[in-house]
Amino acid sequence: MSSRYGRLKTAIAVASAGAVLLGAGYLGTHGTSSVTAAAAGAETATATATVATAQTSRVQAKPTTAAKQKTSRGS
C-alpha cells in the first residue's frame, strides 16, 4: 500500500486504539460482564461447569448443621 495520506491513516489508527480503551472503560462501568452474561442464561457447558465447581467447593467448605452436631456429640 502506498504511503499517501499517511497522517490521516495514523490519526485513524490512533483514534481506533483510543476508542477501544475508552470503550472498554465505558463498558466496564455500564456494560455487561461475561459472568453476568452467563448468569443471564447465555451460559454454556464450560460456564455451567465453572459455576458448578464453585458451588460444590462452597458447599464442601461449609459443614452442615447435622455434621456439626455429630462432631460435637462425638467429642
Partner 1 sequence: MKGIAGAALVLLGAMFVSALGLHGGALGQWPWFISRASGLVAFGLLTGSVVMGLLVRTKVADGVLARPLTFELHQFLAILTLVLLGVHAGSLLFDGFFQFTPVSVVVPFAAPYRPLWTGLGVVAGWAAALVAASFWARRRIGQRRWRQFHYISFGAYLLALVHGLTAGTDSGLALVYLFYGSSSAAVFALLAYRILAPRPKRQRVPSRLPLGSLNRS
Q: Under the rule (CB under 8 A), what is the footprint of partner 1?
A: 1-2, 4-14, 16-28, 30-38, 42, 44-47, 50
| Cβ closest to partner 1, residue 10 vs residue 71 | 10
The HSE-up count of residue 67 (CA atoms within 13 Å, CB side) is 6
CB within 8 Å of 47: residues ≥ 6 apart: 38
CB within 8 Å of 44: residues ≥ 6 apart: 38
Minimum gap (Å) between residue 30 Cβ and partner 1:
7
| Cβ closest to partner 1, residue 14 vs residue 59 | 14
| Cβ closest to partner 1, residue 46 vs residue 72 | 46
